[in-house]
Chains A and B, each alone.
Chain A
Amino acid sequence: MTTATGSAPAPLLRRILLQGKYEAATMLRNGEQLILAVVLPLLALIGLTVTPLLDGMGDSRVNVAVPGILALCAMSTAFTGQGIATGFDRRYGVLRFLSTTPLGRAGLIAGKILAVLAVLVIQVVIVAAVALPLGWRPNLLGVLPGLGLLVLGAAAFTALGLLVAGTVRPEATLAITNLLWILLGALGGIVIPMQRLPELAQNTVHLLPSGSLGEGLRDAFLHGAVNGNAVLVLLMWTVLAGAAAIRWFKWN
């Protein structure tokens, strides 16, 4: 064996980029994650465009459906996908091992956020590639604010996913994040606009990360408007869940 000489860390940015790339590749290779991240949102998109569920909400079914599908994509990757992956990595000691390498805990978290954003970009491209031929015509004024809001939504859901993954057993993380994906996806104001939900739900969903992201994205892509309320609610969830995750996340 060669003898040890001068051990030094790679530069911080390189470590984070490497980890982001590695985690994104791991997520994309995982069949269950791909179903959750790509297949189910696309099925929902097609379902909403061929059924009259969203009729009367906007100028076309697909225009109303796509913002909600993008919100669903963010929840799939950031909350359910990253939550489950982190929960099992914690169980198997992967988080502990990587935090002893130069990557460290902060680099590990940064890499996870990067991986979520990378997968989200791929999801947006795929959804757009399917939706545009179906007649999706987003309000161009809303594209940039909409993408910004999508990133903020992903941040809120990542913080929530890490909070769950870091505090309960991985089997419980699996159950909680999958169940919430279904409940929030169907009834949380993500793909079905608030106005179509029961009256009781209407008063609460705009305070949820799901409802605020869904409504905010519809305001952006349908009307080119920035929904300040949605931004505030998502910021609040990001800060609260982030602080709670920092406080209660157990590494082993």
Chain B
Amino acid sequence: MRSPKSPVLTIDGLIKDVGPLPTLDGKMLRVVSDVSLVAGRGEVTALLGANGAGKTTTIECAQGLQKRTGGSITLLGSDPGTAGAELRARVGVMLQDGGLPPSARPIPLLRHIAGMYRNPRPVDELVQRLGIDSFSRTNVRRLSGGQKQRLALAAALIGNPEVLFLDEPSAGLDPQSRQLVFELIAELRDSGMGIILTTHLMDDAQRLADYVYIIDAGRNVAEGTVAQLLQHNMPEAPHRDHVRTLHFEALPGLDFTGVLAAEIEIRETRSGSYTATGALTPDDLAALTAWWAHHGIMPGSLSMEARSLEDVFLDISGREIR
């Protein structure tokens, strides 16, 4: 685990059991078995994982919404499981389901929440910044997913928090809202806020996160900056700079055995759709195109990109559907 200059959240060996569950004959289910992480001030820390990996449970324990079974959590120097209003005032939370009353109107709701704090942010400023004025006369119930997310973000920020938790912040956002929210998150990070977010979207983590923890089946499986993670599992690759993913479409059922260097994995992901991942060299490309020429194959499409975080994630947590 790394040690940021100024940690705001430290989780060490978190365990969380839920239940007893009737589907497990009344037994407890361990949804988090060993998660540790550190999040720093002025940084975006992402918990990346598939649905059901334990990300939300982990941050809900950190928010004091769920009681942990084991391990320790320190949030701004206090234990969130027992801390009171003083700590809650310093922490902003955006829940996955929003948590806003359906019959409320956006601005009275924000004013109400602002009243819970001694020095709230000006409501008008957040309303303007997050474009809430365009739907301020609509009940929460009738808002679109993106409008709800923006309002929930405003509600999380109204108290001027030092730490901000965002559970799946881009869920339901249209591209414009997403741009707006991402810019705001970056700005808040730069102003010194410690931001912890969960996401199952690689793109979110890649665009936002300074540091990423990959969570799978209730435990940490990898961590690092996005750049570090992109090198994951590639220690022996001789040309790190050449880690690429190559996609092409051709006849189904082709056998590429021996065409590329041994450490390059080439798979037929769909019928006639192939993906090669690894430290591809110019020689590999030459060999592949020569092989096509030899067999008279012209690919229907051909593209290449740097290895994505998604590939890393799938390498680590496995490709099978659970």
Contacts and interface: CB of A to CB of B under 8 A. Distances in A.
B193 A92 contact: no
A1 B99 contact: no
A93 B191 contact: no
Given A1-B125, A89-B101, A104 B119 contact: no
Contacts of B86: 8-9
A3 B191 contact: yes
B88 A8 contact: no
Contacts of A18: 112, 115-116
A22 B178 CA distance: 31
A252 B193 CA distance: 28
Q: Looking at B64, B115, B129, B152, which has the most chain A CB atoms within 10 Å of its CB?
A: B115
B91 A100 contact: yes
Contacts, number: 113
A9 B99 contact: no
Given A1-B129, A102-B85, A7 B97 contact: no
Interface residues of B, number: 43
A100 B121 contact: no
Interface string B75-100: 00000000011101111010101111
Contacts of A251: 65
A97 B100 CA distance: 7
Nearest to B66: A252
Interface string B97-124: 1111111100000001101111101100
Nearest to A99: B65
Given A18-B112, A101-B116, A4 B103 contact: no
B188 A1 contact: yes
Given A1-B129, A7-B162, A26 B103 contact: yes
Interface stretch (B31-39, B153-161, B197-205): B153-161
B4 interface: no
A95 to B, nearest CB: 8
B85 A104 contact: yes
A12 interface: yes
A63 to B, nearest CB: 39
B125 A2 contact: yes
B124 to A, nearest CB: 12
B95 A93 contact: yes
A94 B141 CA distance: 13
B184 interface: yes
B70 interface: no
B101 A92 contact: yes
A9 B129 contact: no
A159 B11 CA distance: 36
Interface in B118-148: 118-119, 121-122, 125, 129
A200 interface: no
Contacts of A249: none
A96 interface: yes
Contacts of B191: 1, 3-4
Contacts of B98: 92-93, 97
A103 interface: yes
Interface string B167-181: 000000000000000
A6 interface: yes
B84 A4 contact: no
Contacts of B121: 1-2
A196 interface: no
A10 interface: yes
A223 interface: no
A12 B63 CA distance: 20
Interface in A101-158: 101-104, 107
A195 interface: no
B88 A9 contact: yes
Contacts of A29: 103
Given A94-B100, A96-B99, A102-B85, A8 B91 contact: no
Interface string A1-37: 1111111111010110010001000100110000000
B192 interface: yes
A6 B101 contact: no
B108 to A, nearest CB: 8
A9 B85 contact: yes
A4 B162 contact: yes
A120 B64 CA distance: 34
B159 A7 contact: yes
B101 A26 contact: yes
B263 interface: no
A5 B121 CA distance: 10
A12 B191 CA distance: 29
27 contacts: A1-B125, A1-B187, A2-B125, A3-B191, A3-B192, A4-B160, A4-B161, A5-B119, A5-B160, A7-B89, A7-B119, A7-B159, A8-B89, A9-B88, A9-B116, A18-B112, A30-B103, A92-B99, A93-B97, A93-B98, A93-B99, A96-B99, A97-B152, A97-B155, A100-B63, A103-B85, A107-B85
Given A4-B191, A10-B117, 11 more contacts: A7-B160, A9-B88, A9-B118, A10-B118, A18-B112, A18-B115, A29-B103, A92-B100, A97-B155, A100-B63, A102-B116
Going nearest first, the 4 A-B pairs with the smallest beta carbon separation are A97-B99, A93-B99, A100-B93, A9-B85
